[in-house]
Structure 1
Amino acid sequence: MSVYDGARAVVIGGSIGGLTAALLLRDLGFRTEVFERTPAALDGRGSGIVLQPDTLRWFNERSTQRPDALSTTTEWVQYLGPGNEIIDRDRRSWSYTSWGTFYRALLADFGLDRYRLGEFACGFDQDERGATVRFVSGRRETADLVVFADGITSVGRERLDPAARLTYSGYVGWRGTVPEHELTESTRELLGDAISYSVVPHSHITLYPIPGEGGTGPRDRLMNYVWYRNVPEGAELSEMLLDKRGFPGKVSLHPGQVQDRYVEEMREAAGRMLAPAAAEVVTATAAPYVQVVSDVRASRMADGRVALIGDAACAARPHAAAGTAKAAADAWALVVALEEARGDIPAALRKWEPAQLELSARLLERVVAMGERSQFSNTWIPGDPSLRFGLYGPGQ
Structure 2
Amino acid sequence: MTATQPYSGATAVVIGGSIGGLTAALLLRDLGFDVHVYERTPSALDGRGSGIVLQPDTVRWFTERSAQSLDDLSTSTGYVQYLDRDGRVEFREERRYDYTSWGTFYRALLADLGDGSYHLGEFACGFDQGTDHATVRFVSGTTVSADLVVFADGITSAARQRFDPQAKLKYSGYVGWRGTFPVRDLDPQTRAALDDAITFNVVPNSHITMYPIPGEDGTAAEYRLMNYVWYRNVPEGPELSELLTDKRGFTSPVSLHPGQVQDRYIDELKTAAAQQLSPPVADVVIATEQPYLQVVADVRSTRMALGRVALIGDAACGARPHAAAGTAKAAADAWALVAALSDAPGDIAGALAKWEPAQLQLSDALLRRVVAMGERSQFTNTWTPGDPDLRFGLYGPGI
TM-score (norm 1): 0.99
Query: What displacement does 1:139 show?
Result: 0.3
Q: Which residue of 1 aligns with 2:5?
A: 2
Q: Where in structure 2 are the equivalents of 1:1-396 lying within 5 Å?
A: 1-396=4-399
Counterpart of 2:235 in structure 1: which amino acid? P
Counterpart of 1:382 in structure 2: which amino acid? P
| Counterpart-to-counterpart distance in 2, 1:250 and 1:61 | 37
| Counterpart-to-counterpart distance in 2, 1:192 and 1:242 | 36
Query: What displacement does 1:2 show?
Result: 2.7
The superposition leaves residues 104-129 of structure 1 with CA deviations (integer Å, 9 ceiling, x where unpaired) of: 00000000001000000000000111
The superposition leaves residues 76-99 of structure 1 with CA deviations (integer Å, 9 ceiling, x where unpaired) of: 000001111110011000000000
The superposition leaves residues 131-162 of structure 1 with CA deviations (integer Å, 9 ceiling, x where unpaired) of: 00000000000000000000001012121111
Counterpart of 2:397 in structure 1: which amino acid? P
Secondary structure of 1:46's counterpart equals coil
Counterpart of 2:241 in structure 1: which amino acid? S
Secondary structure of 1:122's counterpart equals strand
| Counterpart-to-counterpart distance in 2, 1:392 and 1:186 | 37
**Root mean square deviation, CA, Å:** 0.6
| Counterpart-to-counterpart distance in 2, 1:218 and 1:7 | 45
The superposition leaves residues 40-91 of structure 1 with CA deviations (integer Å, 9 ceiling, x where unpaired) of: 0001111000000000000000000000110000000000011111100110
In the alignment of these two chains, the number of paired residues is: 396
Query: What displacement does 1:381 show?
Result: 0.3
| Counterpart-to-counterpart distance in 2, 1:325 and 1:78 | 23
| Counterpart-to-counterpart distance in 1, 2:6 and 2:130 | 20
Counterpart of 1:338 in structure 2: which amino acid? L
| Counterpart-to-counterpart distance in 1, 2:358 and 2:16 | 23
The superposition leaves residues 249-302 of structure 1 with CA deviations (integer Å, 9 ceiling, x where unpaired) of: 111000000001100000000000000011000000010001000000000000
| Counterpart-to-counterpart distance in 2, 1:254 and 1:89 | 33
Asked if the contact 2:168/2:299 (under 8 Å) is kept, the reply is yes
| Counterpart-to-counterpart distance in 2, 1:208 and 1:47 | 11
The superposition leaves residues 323-368 of structure 1 with CA deviations (integer Å, 9 ceiling, x where unpaired) of: 0000000000000000001110000000000000000000000000
Counterpart of 1:120 in structure 2: which amino acid? F
The percent of aligned pairs where both chains have the same amino acid is 71
Secondary structure of 2:59's counterpart equals helix
Stretch moving more, 299-308 or 156-165: 156-165
| Counterpart-to-counterpart distance in 2, 1:126 and 1:21 | 20
Counterpart of 2:311 in structure 1: which amino acid? L
Counterpart of 1:105 in structure 2: which amino acid? A
Secondary structure of 2:189's counterpart equals helix
| Counterpart-to-counterpart distance in 2, 1:64 and 1:156 | 34
TM-score (norm 2): 0.99
| Counterpart-to-counterpart distance in 1, 2:63 and 2:161 | 34
| Counterpart-to-counterpart distance in 2, 1:290 and 1:114 | 32
The superposition leaves residues 181-204 of structure 1 with CA deviations (integer Å, 9 ceiling, x where unpaired) of: 110111111112000000000000
Secondary structure of 2:240's counterpart equals helix
Asked if the contact 2:5/2:30 (under 8 Å) is kept, the reply is no
| Counterpart-to-counterpart distance in 1, 2:346 and 2:197 | 47
Show structure 1 runs of 5+ residues with no match: none
